[in-house]
Amino acid sequence: METFYKHPIYALTHVLAGLLTVWYPIIGLLFIGYQILQLVTNRRFFLFSMQLKSGNSVKHTLIKLLEWLFGVILGYIIRFTL
């Protein structure tokens, strides 16, 4: 199985997208759609280096979705308990 190195900034952006989804649900729909698009096309876009690279996997996509879900859960905790 191929291993992907990911700079921590990308995990933070996924968590941030999850946080913002709690207040702006359209962000969640766009995020999930974009992740599915990357998986289907087997491409990944790196915003901070402005690169488009081949290679993706279900495992890698699930990791990104879990990072996003962590942000959603954190967002709900912040919004409804603080």
Structure confidence at residue 46 (pLDDT): 83
At 2, is the pLDDT very low, low, confident or very high (cuts 50, 70, 90)?
Answer: low
Q: What is the identity of the amino acid at 7?
A: H
Global confidence as pTM: 0.87
Q: At 44, give phi and psi (nearest 5°).
A: -135, 135
Taking only the tens place, the pLDDT of each residue in 45-69 is 888 888 899 999 999 999 999 999 9
Structure confidence at residue 22 (pLDDT): 98
Q: List, as own/partner pairs, every contact residues 34-40 make where C-beta atoms lie below 8 angstroms and the sequence separation is at least 24, other chains included.
A: 35/61, 35/64, 35/65, 36/61
Q: Please state, in angstroms and rounded to a whole number, the distance separating the CA atoms of residues 42 and 52.
A: 10
Counted residue by residue, the chain has a size of 82
Output the average pLDDT for the chain.
Answer: 91
Q: At 52, give phi and psi (nearest 5°).
A: -115, 120
